[in-house]
Amino acid sequence: MKIRTIKQIHNLKNKRVLVRVDFNVPLEKGKVAEDARLIASLPTIEHLIKKGAKVILVSHLGRPEGFDKKLSLSPVAKRLENLMGRQVKLLKIERLKDYRNEVVDQISKMKNDEVVMLENIRFFPDEAKDENNFGKTLSGIADIFVLDGFAVVHRDSGSVTGVAKHLPSYAGLLLEKEIVGLSKAIEKPKKPFVLVLGGAKMETKLPVLKNLLSKADYVLIGGGIFNTYLWAKGCKVGKSLIDKEYKNEALKLLKNKKVILPVDFVVGKENGDKARVQDTSYKIQVTNNEAIYDIGPQTIRLYARYIKKAQTIVWNGAMGYFEQKPYDVGTLSIARLVASRSKGKAFGIIGGGETLQAMEKVKMMEFVDLVSTGGGAMLEFLSGQRLPGLKLLTK
Ligand code: 3PG
């Protein structure tokens, strides 16, 4: 996929550039708890400033319904200021009516090395579906539009696609990096290509499985997908996470020869009590108040064999309930295996909130080739869907 990027813009001097980032980050006690998405967009922001542009950042935070003080981008602007060593002026929303004039006024006063950030764009109800010409109005405050938030590229909203219809539009460096990396894995992957798929929800994972089954050599399964499969086969799985709606699809897709299923798993109580390993070749015994919470040791050993041979690895989704010991072993082992094989021997990609948390826990993030900032966006891209945010940037 070829997209227009900011490297192709010749003259940025004094141009007002509206940059749609995704700074939807977790907050704790009014402070940014995890700043990876901020750091990921720094190269784009710095590139634009270096070329003399006036940078106006736009992001959402959470899913507010109208103005919500708790979801102000104020802590985000502060953290960005620290990270960049530059002033980041947050344009608060006191009076929605005058907001546009205020923004235009502030931008005209901007100093060259300063950055302006608009308050949470989802405070405007028209943003979600680009109603009442929201994107068009937003485009009035800038000369150029840059989409850098890969994590929001699947949203057909005013600040993603709406504004792009009215301004010359380009991808930022983060968006470019993610698209190039993900395309490399799914268009012409170096073989063997191993896909590791876990997590709780079937709804977002099955389309990925469907789309990548023809390209991947092996698909290693864990989490809710496996539980649903066992349940669909008639096994008693107690309180395990399953998705009843996908019974038939699970049965059909997971029978494919490329799909490698766990040969054992860890079952027990939610708090870790009575945790024990069960082999899938024996009668499955999960009582009503127990659940399957992890893949077992034989499965880790089996999956290691595939990961150690892979030339391309894509991993999305935990193997189990890794937040609770002793159910963390499977997911953390997969994290170590994927990171150990990446950068050099294989091209390794990971994405999704839980997957990143697991990699963070084993402190091996730096060894992964591409750490995607997108959860839902990455899954939709891997499912082969045409993402709305990319359509307008395609060459
Ligand atoms: C995400 O965190 O996946 C993105 O910021 C998109 O958020 P949304 O699902 O609320 O649109």
Whether a cis peptide bond, with omega within 30° of 0, leads into 326 is yes
Q: What spacing in Å lies between the alpha carbon of 122 and ligand 1's midpoint?
A: 11
Count Cα atoms within 13 angstroms, Cβ side, for 112: 6
Alpha-carbon gap, residue 94 to 98, rounded angstroms: 9
Domain locations in the chain? Answer: 6-174, 189-382
Confidence tier at 90 by pLDDT (50, 70, 90): very high
* Residue-wise pLDDT tens digits, 169-224: 999 999 999 999 999 999 999 999 999 999 998 999 999 999 999 999 999 999 99
Mutate-to-test residue for ligand 1 from 27, 71, 152, 201, highest number of ligand atoms within 8 A of CB: 152
Beta bridge partners of 265: 278, 295
Determine which residue's CA is closest to atom 7 belonging to ligand 1: 152
Beta bridge partners of 17: 55, 144
353 is catalytic: yes
Q: Is the pLDDT of residue 311 over 90?
A: yes
Atom of ligand 1 nearest to the CA of 377: 3
Span of 113-117, 276-280, 315-319 with lowest mean pLDDT:
113-117
Q: What spacing in Å lies between the alpha carbon of 45 and ligand 1's midpoint?
A: 21
Determine what percent of the chain is predicted with pLDDT higher than 70.
99
Q: What spacing in Å lies between the alpha carbon of 251 and ligand 1's midpoint?
A: 30
Cβ of 63 less than 6 Å from ligand 1: yes
Q: Which entry of 20, 37, 215, 341 is annotated as an active-site residue?
A: 37
Do 223 and 344 meet the contact criterion of CB atoms below 8 Å apart? no
Share the mean pLDDT of the chain: 95
Determine which residue's CA is closest to atom 5 belonging to ligand 1: 24
Q: Is the pLDDT of residue 127 over 80?
A: yes
Class in CATH terms, 6-174: alpha beta
What's the whole-number mean pLDDT along residues 233-239?
96
Q: What spacing in Å lies between the alpha carbon of 257 and ligand 1's midpoint?
A: 34
Q: Is 384 left (phi over 0), alpha (psi -120 to 50) or beta?
A: left
**Residue 87 Cα distances to 81, 101, 179, angstroms:** 6, 21, 30
Output the pLDDT for position 88. Answer: 95
Cβ of 208 less than 6 Å from ligand 1: no
Q: Is the pLDDT of residue 95 over 80?
A: no
Q: Is the pLDDT of residue 89 over 80?
A: yes
Q: Which entry of 15, 78, 201, 361 is annotated as an active-site residue?
A: 201
Q: Is the pLDDT of residue 356 over 90?
A: yes
Q: Hey, do 6-174 and 189-382 end up sharing a CATH topology, with the first three levels equal?
A: yes
User: How is domain 189-382 classified at the CATH fold level?
Assistant: Rossmann fold (3.40.50)
37 is catalytic: yes
